Amino acid sequence: MATPKQAKAVKTAVKKYKNYIGGEWVAPSSGQWFDNVNPADTSDIVGRFPNSGREDVDRAVAAAKEAATRWRRTPAPKRAEILFTLGEILRKNKEAYTQQMTREMGKVLKEAGGDVQEAIDCTYYTAGEGRRLHGFTTPAEMPNKFAMCVRQPVGICGLITPFNFPMAIPSWKLIPALVCGNTVVLKSGEDVPLSALNLVKACEEAGIPKGVVNLVNGERDAGAALVEHPDVRLISFTGSTATGKKIAEHAARENKIVSLEMGGKNAIIVMDDADIDNAVEGSLWGAFGTSGQRCTASSRLVVHKKVYKKFCEKLVERTKKLRVGSGLDPKTEVGPVINERQMDKVLGYIEIGRKIDKATLACGGNRLTKGDLSRGFFIEPTVFTDVKPKMRIAQEEIFGPVTCVIPFSTLDEAIDIVNGVQYGLSSAIYTQDVNRAFHAMQELYTGICYVNSATIGAEVHLPFGGTKGTGNGHREAGTQVLDIFSEWKALYIDHSGKLQKAQIDEVEI
Ligand code: NAD
């Protein structure tokens, strides 16, 4: 055991990271720092990060304001060129970022690599918009008059991100904001500050001018200060529905633009004609990938009564075999959950499932503490069967390695079950029948729908977002994200040389 002195030496050896404001790496004015802890081994401190306050946010917003005109006036293809360089830097450092992400967030190396890859894909794809950013022309009502529409940046954007996709989600906001000509202040999830810092450092290396990208580390207060800042025109938020609603209330009072990507309670329908083995594999991946901490996690499996028994047996058998451990071990299939609070929340839901909902706990249900696992936040992959659609575990977002199997008799009943929650992010159906697949695609009221695949695995060139409690009508990724980070300007050019009054003057033909 380390003596107190040795322990102190270890503690002081932990690297301190800074905020990035106006092109400089600066300590927080509060003088406060927080530890970034490895969720697989809480004795491993990944780094110490600024616990920023309002003053730091004010400085970051001032820097973004100062840089705004120059960046807005930089031609979009030139902005894109810098972003392509950024893509190269991300690609070059993918392995190092992946390791660091697994250490701070816990997801297994392959998935962390996928997260970094998503940031790379997003950067290349969205940078390409710098040579498009299409507007349109349209006929004018009057002769010798020209009409067209262009996109213009919105101004200073506050980007607030969660813990579960530490580099991908910041990139989904940052890159489109930049290509559209905005300047930004980023506040990433407090459990995963290193991945966002890696992204911002890469922006610096790529040559993005000072003040265009600013990073303020911190917790809820830093996020709230960003939302409340009068110079921040737009808030792009991804996180829980509870936080998103608070942000939306404030944004509404101040008339800010706000885009919200929030919780999910996604479901896979397994029809009686499905390839059961394929459906089981998809369900395992959808439910337990990222330890169930995906907004698109397959937390409900809605299974036809005719194949219910067979499906449940296979699912439970496979779930029991999943290898849980540190994500840094390449053999691990399911890593830890992010922190103690989240672990307690998930274990609390398992108790609700057993004692209040009285569903059948088919496997899992416990914290794992054997050997090295005692140092982290590990939960057994858990399957509840005989779940009824209105039970709490089938309605509320658990955000952990827990899934519920719900039996049904007809496709329309299954569709009602899938749609019968407050969220509307992702859904899926396993079937060999094209008519059933198209009926489900038409009737499932979610932002994303998969056929013969799990509810997870979105690609960056398609729009991403959800209906109902998941979002507020915006879509990230694809070209649709440009509608968040730019506003339309309608331009009328009258070259008739005289006053022409639209809607009033008669046009002679
Ligand atoms: P969270 O809401 O606790 O935190 C998200 C971010 O908001 C963090 O950076 C946090 O510091 C900040 N924050 C907290 N309170 C704030 C406030 N009052 N004002 C401003 N900022 C504040 O979410 P989380 O636990 O980090 O992430 C998990 C949630 O994110 C889940 O609900 C999940 O479904 C959701 N999520 C949604 C999507 C999507 O695209 N729909 C994607 C990923 C995650």
Active site residue 55: no
Specify burial of residue 413 (Cβ count, 10 A radius: 0-12, 13-18, 19+). middle
Q: Which of 216, 262, 346 is the best mutation target for the ligand 1 pocket, counting ligand atoms within 8 Å of the beta carbon and taking the most?
A: 262
CB 140 within 8 A of CB 125: no
Q: Determine the average pLDDT of the residues in 452-464.
A: 97
In whole angstroms, what is the distance from residue 301 CA to residue 166 CA?
27
Ligand 1: centre distance to CA 224 (Å): 12
| Token digits of residue 408 | 């049904």
* Separation in Å, CA 171 to CA 175, 191, 365, 394, 486: 6, 17, 35, 31, 17
The answer, yes or no, to whether any atom of ligand 1 lies below 6 A from the CB of 212, is: no
The answer, yes or no, to whether any atom of ligand 1 lies below 6 A from the CB of 468, is: no
In whole angstroms, what is the distance from residue 344 CA to residue 364 CA?
15
C-alpha closest to that of 258 among 268, 249, 270: 249
Q: Which of 161, 220, 237 is the best mutation target for the ligand 1 pocket, counting ligand atoms within 8 Å of the beta carbon and taking the most?
A: 220
Ligand 1: centre distance to CA 160 (Å): 8
In whole angstroms, what is the distance from residue 330 CA to residue 16 CA?
28
| Token digits of residue 179 | 């290509």
The answer, yes or no, to whether any atom of ligand 1 lies below 6 A from the CB of 397, is: yes
Q: What is the CA radius of gyration of the chain?
A: 25
* Predicted structure pTM score: 0.96
* Catalytically annotated residue among 129, 228, 261, 380: 261
Ligand 1: centre distance to CA 33 (Å): 21
Specify burial of residue 56 (Cβ count, 10 A radius: 0-12, 13-18, 19+). buried
- Ligand 1 atom at minimum distance from 263 CA: 34
pLDDT for the residue numbered 91: 98
pLDDT for the residue numbered 138: 98
The answer, yes or no, to whether any atom of ligand 1 lies below 6 A from the CB of 112, is: no
**282-308 per-position pLDDT tens digit:** 999 999 999 999 999 999 999 999 999
Residue 12 pLDDT class (50, 70, 90 cuts): low
pLDDT for the residue numbered 200: 98
Give the side-chain half-sphere CA count within 13 A for 38.
Answer: 23
pLDDT score of 2 more than 50: no
* Separation in Å, CA 77 to CA 70, 82, 164: 14, 9, 32
Ligand 1: centre distance to CA 401 (Å): 18
Q: Which of 105, 164, 232, 246 is the best mutation target for the ligand 1 pocket, counting ligand atoms within 8 Å of the beta carbon and taking the most?
A: 164
Contacts of residue 13, defined as CB under 8 A and 6 or more positions apart, other chains included, come to: none
Ligand 1: centre distance to CA 244 (Å): 7
C-alpha closest to that of 363 among 385, 342, 345, 339: 385
**23-36 per-position pLDDT tens digit:** 999 999 989 999 99
* Separation in Å, CA 364 to CA 39, 317, 349, 486: 20, 11, 13, 47
Q: State whether residue 478 is helix, strand or coil.
A: coil
Question: What does the chain come to in residues?
Answer: 509
| Nearest protein CA to atom 16 of ligand 1, as residue | 220
**157-212 per-position pLDDT tens digit:** 999 999 999 999 999 999 999 999 999 999 999 999 999 999 999 999 999 999 99
Please give the biggest Cα pair distance in the chain. Answer: 95
pLDDT for the residue numbered 3: 41
Q: Determine the average pLDDT of the residues in 396-412.
A: 98
| Token digits of residue 153 | 């940046």
pLDDT for the residue numbered 440: 98
| Token digits of residue 40 | 């697989």
Active site residue 295: yes
In whole angstroms, what is the distance from residue 140 CA to residue 143 CA?
7
pLDDT for the residue numbered 8: 47
In whole angstroms, what is the distance from residue 319 CA to residue 233 CA?
46
In whole angstroms, what is the distance from residue 202 CA to residue 199 CA?
5
**103-114 per-position pLDDT tens digit:** 999 999 999 999
Residue 13 pLDDT class (50, 70, 90 cuts): confident
Q: Which of 167, 229, 237, 240 is the best mutation target for the ligand 1 pocket, counting ligand atoms within 8 Å of the beta carbon and taking the most?
A: 240
- Ligand 1 atom at minimum distance from 163 CA: 26
pLDDT score of 457 more than 60: yes
**119-138 per-position pLDDT tens digit:** 999 999 999 999 999 999 99
Q: Using the 8-state DSSP alphabet, how is residue 373 labeled? A: G
pLDDT for the residue numbered 6: 43
Ligand 1: centre distance to CA 238 (Å): 5
- Ligand 1 atom at minimum distance from 342 CA: 25
The answer, yes or no, to whether any atom of ligand 1 lies below 6 A from the CB of 162, is: yes
Q: What is the mean pLDDT of the chain?
A: 96
Contacts of residue 59, defined as CB under 8 A and 6 or more positions apart, other chains included, come to: 21, 22, 26, 29
In whole angstroms, what is the distance from residue 324 CA to residue 298 CA?
18
